[in-house]
Amino acid sequence: MSTSHPLARRDALTELYAQLNARAQEAPPERAHRLWIGGQVCGWATDAAWDALRQVPGVVAQDGALHIGAALAPGPQLDALLADVADTMRQAQCLRGWRNELLDVCTEAGEVIGAIERAASRPLALCTRAVHLNAWTPDGRLWIARRAMSKSTDPGMWDTLVGGLVCTGEPLDEALVRECDEEAGLSPEHLAHRSPLRTILRMHRRLPEGYQVEDVLVSDCVLAAHVQPANRDGEVSEIMHVDVDTAIEMVQAGEFTLEAALVIVEDIMRIDAAG
């Protein structure tokens, strides 16, 4: 997309974003089972999760729905049951990997009622939160990162410079600062002038392991000319910067993860509108 006419570019970006957003708004899998935790609606369980969990003490499979800890209030007992749930799913090979990271368990209304192993979030369609950083050079180039081939999701695809999930009990800004350090070697000083995190959409997407329900948040900043991001956690194989037209062409060619494509196009549209 190398058009120089502002209106033509705006219209093209609007159409591109609409196409991407349509891919990010899928209905739950046809055979998914409504999931209740602590007496509240929280997600959708896969058939495999249903089969694995319906015999677990404290779990009831009834009328096509899965009820976990129906009589339990948020607290240690519910968290212990959620740990048993995740471990049972791992033994039944319902999970893709095991991260030893806990994520918040939220109701559909957004209330945090517990915590569970990260790998269980997609098979149970639990809402997660992802924070991203769109980092720019002083001359208007975008920093991007290629995901390592060892990643279980979207290996080898291009991503925003920084992106990751928020852990249980972790404030959003602290999660972003942590991810910036791990994924790009950026310190809080490098991020001093970044914009506040903003939510751009909630994704609903079918995945091989289940269903992704995720709030996508983004902050952006201009990194000083002397700053060279460098990965520290081994989850990135390459970091580089590209001009805006190249970034858009890469999005159109399907080289970015869907989340990154949405974040990048939304940011370019916002900058164009402000400029």
Q: Are residues 138 and 16 in the same domain?
A: yes
**Number of domains the chain is built from:** 2
pLDDT in tens, 226-273: 999 999 888 899 999 999 999 999 999 999 999 999 999 999 999 888
Range of the domain at 47: 33-121
Q: Are residues 71 and 15 in the same domain?
A: no
C-beta of residue 135 within 8 angstroms of C-beta of residue 223: yes
Share of the chain above pLDDT 70, in %: 97
Q: What average pLDDT values come out for the chain (275 residues) when binned by 10 residues? A: 66 94 95 96 96 95 95 97 97 91 94 97 97 97 95 90 96 97 95 95 95 97 95 91 96 96 96 84
Amino acid code (one letter) for 228 = Q
Does a structural domain hold residue 10?
yes
Does a structural domain hold residue 162?
yes
C-beta of residue 236 within 8 angstroms of C-beta of residue 107: no
Does a structural domain hold residue 104?
yes
Q: What is the pTM of this model?
A: 0.92
| Spatial CA neighbour of 50 closest among 81, 113, 90, 94 | 94
Does a structural domain hold residue 76?
yes
Per-residue confidence (pLDDT) for residue 152, from 0 to 100: 77
Per-residue confidence (pLDDT) for residue 175, from 0 to 100: 97
178: tokens are 């942590």
Per-residue confidence (pLDDT) for residue 4, from 0 to 100: 55
C-beta of residue 193 within 8 angstroms of C-beta of residue 135: no
| Spatial CA neighbour of 71 closest among 121, 36, 107 | 36
Per-residue confidence (pLDDT) for residue 257, from 0 to 100: 97
Q: Are residues 20 and 39 in the same domain?
A: no
Per-residue confidence (pLDDT) for residue 254, from 0 to 100: 96
Three-state helix/strand/coil letters over the chain: CCCCCHHHHHHHHHHHHHHHHHHCECCCCCCCEEEEECCEEEEEECHHHHHHHCCCCCEEEECCEEEECCCCCCCHHHHHHHHHHHHHHHHCCCCCCCCCCEEEEECCCCCEEEEEEHHHCCCCCCEEEEEEEEEECCCCCEEEEEECCCCCCCCCCEEECEEEECCCCCCHHHHHHHHHHHHHCCCCCCCCCCCCCEEEEEEEEEECCEEEEEEEEEEEEECCCCCCCCCCCCCEEEEEEECHHHHHHHHHCCCECHHHHHHHHHHHHHHHHHC
Amino acid code (one letter) for 100 = N
Per-residue confidence (pLDDT) for residue 5, from 0 to 100: 62
Q: Are residues 181 and 237 in the same domain?
A: yes
Domain with residue 18: its CATH number is 3.90.79.10
32: tokens are 């998914």
Does a structural domain hold residue 105?
yes
| Residue 89 to residue 193: CA distance in whole angstroms | 43
| Residue 207 to residue 212: CA distance in whole angstroms | 7
Per-residue confidence (pLDDT) for residue 234, from 0 to 100: 86
- Rounded to a whole number, what is the distance in angstroms from the first to the last CA of the chain? 18
C-beta of residue 260 within 8 angstroms of C-beta of residue 267: no
Last residue of a domain, one of 69, 88, 121: 121
